[in-house]
Amino acid sequence: MFRTSIIALTLGMMLISACATTHAKRKGAFYPARIPASSETQRLANVRVALFQSIPRLRVASKEPVKIYDMNTRSMMADSVLKEESQLTPRNQHFMLNGQTLLAQKIRLVPAEKDFIKCNGQRFRGQIEVSCNARGGLLVVNFVPLEEYVKGVVPNEVQGNWPLEALKAQAVAARTFTLSRMGSSANAEFDVEANTNSQVYRGMDSEREATNQAVEGTAHLAATYQGRFISAFYHSNCGGHTADVRNVWGNDIVYLKGVACGFCDDSPHYNWSLTLSLKEITNLLSQRNIEFIRSIEVMGRLPDNRVLSLEIVHGGGKEIMKAPAFRMLLGPERLKSTNFEITPNAKSLVFKGKGWGHGVGLCQEGAYGMARAGYGFSEILEYYYPGIEIKFLE
Ligand SMILES: [Zn+2]
């Protein structure tokens, strides 16, 4: 039963691929090259998305009967409708579902065709796998076809009222980012997280017509470099120049060296300012044993104007800290980028900066600006990831 549905899914993906190819050729605007078919790409039909990690209970609901499988024996344990109040809880390496014991360490909930499973109030396409972690909490993983997953990501990463070509660029970036993560570790329980550690994914309730149109319009297209999926990082606003990944995370990647943008300076996140008291900063840096901060000064800048490092003078001496680490300690939602200047006041510091995010890869608000200026999604992607090729997955 289980194997049959996987084969059916694979066949379904192949049929979709065939339709999308015809569509792309008929439009005549864009002829992506192909990645040869392989068992690897077939295997990657489902993304494993960690919806919740280490939660004490999960509320599950369905309209139609849901089949519950023991994933060790692959045998079906139950086949019933999950009412709205159904509660799944861990107990001594097995589960309780509405007071009934499920003797398994890992279970898979498989919905009826065209039905979905609601998890903690959000509807998700695909299947749900639940296991207990070492601390007795629940790990909830959504097994969802790649294209359906991307539909649940794009509206949470950009606004649905953006120009279609910007939405398409985001769809290809999100799809490619996911493909670069899939199968990277055979032992991992999941490929991506449903939050900003990977990409924000909120399932089918978050889907919008325009963003679904962008996903369908670019179905099975991905960005590659020398035949491999690129690490398609993206961020809200680059502040005028995207970052060289080497200065952010230390690795040297040809297509992530940074480009001048010039398309995001009218956008809402281009300029920002933040005022923090020295006391607040001391609290935020306390995990590094930094106390009684006296001053913080910029020590050097990169050619793209981002701060390289800072000198922090405090009660116990002084410390040189790299700007990305400093940003993480202050909080990336507070200190929105590492492109800033510092003005000291009596008991506070004023940070005035540009851009929002790590700055690596696609500038989302720049993609918006490029689409408004008439560029197509492939031109946008090739601008922010120089040297890439957009290819069709088979
Ligand atoms: Zn930009």
- pLDDT truncated to tens, each residue of the chain (394 aa)? 333 333 333 323 332 233 333 333 333 333 344 433 443 443 446 899 999 999 999 999 999 999 999 998 888 998 999 988 899 999 877 899 988 899 999 999 999 998 999 999 999 999 999 998 877 899 999 999 999 999 999 999 999 999 999 999 999 999 999 999 987 766 688 999 999 999 999 999 999 999 999 999 999 999 999 999 999 999 999 999 999 999 999 999 999 999 999 999 999 899 999 999 988 998 888 878 788 888 899 999 999 999 999 999 988 889 999 999 999 999 999 999 999 999 999 889 999 999 999 999 999 999 999 999 999 999 999 999 999 999 998 7
Could you give the C-alpha distances from 289 to 299, 320, 322, 349, in angstroms and in order?
21, 13, 16, 20
State in Å: Cα 366 to ligand 1 middle.
4
Going by C-alpha positions, the residue among 128, 131, 235, 145 that lies closest to residue 182 is 145
SS (H, E, C) 305-330: CCEEEEEEEECCEEEEEEHHHHHHHH
State in Å: Cα 267 to ligand 1 middle.
9
State in Å: Cα 66 to ligand 1 middle.
46
State in Å: Cα 381 to ligand 1 middle.
13
Going by C-alpha positions, the residue among 87, 370, 334 that lies closest to residue 326 is 334
Residues in the chain: 394
State in Å: Cα 308 to ligand 1 middle.
19
State in Å: Cα 348 to ligand 1 middle.
29
User: Which residues have a beta carbon within 5 Å of ligand 1, which is an ion?
Assistant: 238, 261, 264, 363, 366
State in Å: Cα 250 to ligand 1 middle.
21
Is the distance from CB of 131 to CB of 138 less than 8 angstroms?
yes
State in Å: Cα 336 to ligand 1 middle.
14
Phi–psi pair at 211, nearest 5 degrees: -75, -35
Is the distance from CB of 144 to CB of 119 less than 8 angstroms?
no
Residue matched to tokens 């990944």? 245
State in Å: Cα 15 to ligand 1 middle.
38
Could you give the C-alpha distances from 224 to 30, 255, 328, in angstroms and in order?
16, 10, 30
State in Å: Cα 72 to ligand 1 middle.
48
How far apart (Å, rounded) are the C-alpha atoms in residues 296 and 306?
Answer: 16
Is the distance from CB of 307 to CB of 327 less than 8 angstroms?
no
State in Å: Cα 271 to ligand 1 middle.
12
State in Å: Cα 383 to ligand 1 middle.
11
The pLDDT of residue 336: 97
How far apart (Å, rounded) are the C-alpha atoms in residues 323 and 282?
Answer: 16
State in Å: Cα 264 to ligand 1 middle.
4
State in Å: Cα 327 to ligand 1 middle.
19
How far apart (Å, rounded) are the C-alpha atoms in residues 203 and 128?
Answer: 12
The pLDDT of residue 24: 31
State in Å: Cα 49 to ligand 1 middle.
29
